[in-house]
Structure 1
Amino acid sequence: MSISYADLGDEVIGREREVELLLAALEAGAHVVLEGPPGTGKTTLLRAVAARQHVPFIFVEGNAELTPGRLVGHFDPAQVLAQGYTPEIFVDGPLLEAMRSGGLLYIEELNRVPEETLNVLLTSMSEGEVHVPRLGSVRAADGFSFVAAMNPYDSVGTARISGAIYDRTCRIAMGYQSPEAENQIGVLRAPEVPDDWRAKVIELVRSTRDHSDVRVGSSVRGVIDLVKVASALAQARGIPVTDWHLGLDAATVALSGRVRLHESSSRTPEEVVRELYEAVFGREPKDEDDDSGEA
């Protein structure tokens, strides 16, 4: 079934090029690696594409605990004692589930997966089959695709992906969305707020990606959470969402955990968020000043 960007509706915003490239790669029978920072819509994109193509979507969280056995499957130990190693008691893991159903296997955080598990994937990608001890060979049904995502900026708990994986996959780089796309996402997925104030929130979030002390800035998720927290605070305090101090509190809550500083930085995330907040919303107003949040 052929689909296009327009078929995805409001689920995927500002990703026309990436959707086109992904659909072309999958149509060509290729396996794909989506590479980009967190919050850039990699999982959302894959879920939407799989749903529109009406193919099974099998999600796997990549981490050090993803052993070959967990990925491929296992014989039910209790049944083995009674029946022996028969195919009927084998419990498919996500890889075999995707292969048998011709589905889309999606592994998040590929560079956190142990090398021995990646070696199992290599066989399924290059040969279209996997050999399981005592079960035999399992061939992939038509339509089986493997798509992985990885964050190149996070080095903690990650490993370098081998050239063998890259040689068997197509790579699509996914950067941050445009300001216009992030505004549209904010309108759709966060409470209603004044347009000019939301525009400043987007400017603030985007500025976290360029600060000299910041290694990884906030994604558009920071916009959504900041607006949600500010709206809740406004209701609790009985003041406008544009209040300067309210906005700073919301920004600190929503962004200080998302910005990751360089190890050489002597500053705290809260200090960086306040600096950026003041650059966008102006310095802290004095008592006699208008506290509406206008710079």
Structure 2
Amino acid sequence: MSNDTSTSTTSSVLAPATLHERLQRAVGEAVVGQEAVVTQLTTALLAGGHVLLEGAPGVAKTTIATRVAAAAGLPAKRIQLTPDVLPADITGTQLYNEQEGAFEFRRGPVFSNAVIADEINRAMPKAQAALLEAMEEGRVSVDGETHSLPSPFFVVATQNPLDMAGTYPLPESQLDRFMFHLTVSAPSSDDALVDILTTADERERDDKRRRQASPYTLTPEAIHSARGLVNAIHVSAPIKQYLVALMRSLETDSRAAAAPSPRALIGVQRAAKARAAIERRAYVIPEDIKRVAIDALCHRLTIEQAPRGDTEAARELLGETLDATAVPTMVSAPASDTPLATDGGE
């Protein structure tokens, strides 16, 4: 057997569960008590979605995003968004090359496999919108020319709570580009806070040791291979009917001013397939839907008389709707020749 572990990793198929374990380990080395957030980030990465992380300053939102991108083997760029950031600062611009006597396109930081958009709601709407086409289409248009972005393309944006000074709420069209809206908060227990202090004290020394001991490095191709297994996850007719029933319940609830769109429903299905793959299962069950639906729909659901951007009221309504919607009792298994979520290198 070859000793070149990096070669063997890129040439084999990466099991989604293996990716999840790797990301949990990488983030856990630097951040305490955010396992649920990392699981949803892994789910979105496997499902081809993007994630919005909300929380007060200092709760490790950027650290989590940076660690996930690095552990997944995705070249990453971080964009610090402020009110004076222009769209061209994100996408790039045409500059005149005097030696060539012609204009050439200088790519912006969005041209990376992973983009960490820090404090996205501190940017003006024009700068926020610069990411919209990139997140939906995987490309950007500058001066009438279209430029494709690297694949896979994964955006993790952080934002401060909307009641903080200097924030600009994201429009509904921008929010709809995020598969998940996740809340990151500091652990409440004293023991957890002591663990945070200990982790911070030891991080620099341990980071150097772990980099030297790392057995292999993932690549964007490995993420593609894991996504291939996720795409093969089976979704039975009863599960699809269950999803439709959830949406219909939200449409008829008087507390919901606007229900999620069919595109949001597709996002829930994709996320549920990724969650099934993480659980080493080749088909989706109702529990997979429940594990992803609230984070996938809370930012796409408008609640009557609730402040704009208030996801807590939406989360409460979604939880009640999930509890009240009948769960299918019979879920068919996939055909015997369907690739399993556990296929690939462990």
TM-score by length of 2: 0.49
Equivalent residue, structure 2, for 1:178: 188
Is residue 2:30 matched to residue 1:15?
no
2:28 and 2:164 map into 1 onto residues whose CA distance is 34
Equivalent residue, structure 2, for 1:151: 160
1:171 and 1:3 map into 2 onto residues whose CA distance is 19
Structure-2 change in CA distance of 1:93 and 1:127 (3 Å): same
Secondary structure of 1:131's match? strand
Question: Which runs of no fewer than 5 residues in structure 2 stay unpaired?
Answer: 1-13, 203-346
Matches within 5 A, 1:92-241: 92-95=107-110, 97-98=111-112, 103-133=113-143, 136-152=145-161, 155-169=164-178, 170-179=180-189, 180-190=191-201
**TM-fit CA distance, 1:112:** 1.1
Secondary structure of 1:76's match? strand
Q: Is the 8 A contact 1:124 1:130 kept in 2?
A: yes
Is residue 2:102 matched to residue 1:84?
yes
Q: Is the 8 A contact 1:14 1:178 kept in 2?
A: no
Secondary structure of 1:106's match? strand
Q: Is the 8 A contact 1:66 1:117 kept in 2?
A: yes
Secondary structure of 1:49's match? helix
**TM-fit CA distance, 1:61:** 0.4
**TM-fit CA distance, 1:153:** 5.2
1:190 and 1:129 map into 2 onto residues whose CA distance is 41
Q: Is the 8 A contact 1:61 1:109 kept in 2?
A: yes
1:137 and 1:176 map into 2 onto residues whose CA distance is 41
**TM-fit CA distance, 1:75:** 2.6
Structure-2 change in CA distance of 1:122 and 1:153 (3 Å): closer
Query: How big is the alpha-carbon RMSD for the aligned residues of Structure 1 and Structure 2?
Result: 2.0
2:122 and 2:99 map into 1 onto residues whose CA distance is 35
Equivalent residue, structure 1, for 2:218: none
**TM-fit CA distance, 1:156:** 2.1
Q: Is the 8 A contact 2:93 2:106 kept in 1?
A: yes
Structure-2 change in CA distance of 1:33 and 1:80 (3 Å): farther
Matches within 5 A, 1:31-42: 31-42=50-61
TM-score by length of 1: 0.57
Deviations 1:249-268 (A, max 9, x none): xxxxxxxxxxxxxxxxxxxx
Q: Is the 8 A contact 1:3 1:52 kept in 2?
A: no
How many matched pairs? 181
Q: Is the 8 A contact 2:92 2:107 kept in 1?
A: yes
Question: Which runs of no fewer than 5 residues in structure 1 stay unpaired?
Answer: 192-295
Secondary structure of 1:37's match? coil
**TM-fit CA distance, 1:187:** 2.1
Q: Is the 8 A contact 1:3 1:53 kept in 2?
A: no
Which is bigger in relative contact order (C-alpha 8 A, separation at least 6)? 2
**TM-fit CA distance, 1:7:** 4.0
**TM-fit CA distance, 1:81:** 7.6
Structure-2 change in CA distance of 1:129 and 1:153 (3 Å): closer
**TM-fit CA distance, 1:190:** 4.3
**TM-fit CA distance, 1:38:** 1.0
Secondary structure of 1:143's match? coil
**TM superposition outliers: structure 1 runs of 4+ over 4 Å:** none
Q: Is the 8 A contact 2:109 2:115 kept in 1?
A: yes
1:157 and 1:9 map into 2 onto residues whose CA distance is 31
Greater C-alpha radius of gyration: 1
Equivalent residue, structure 1, for 2:270: none
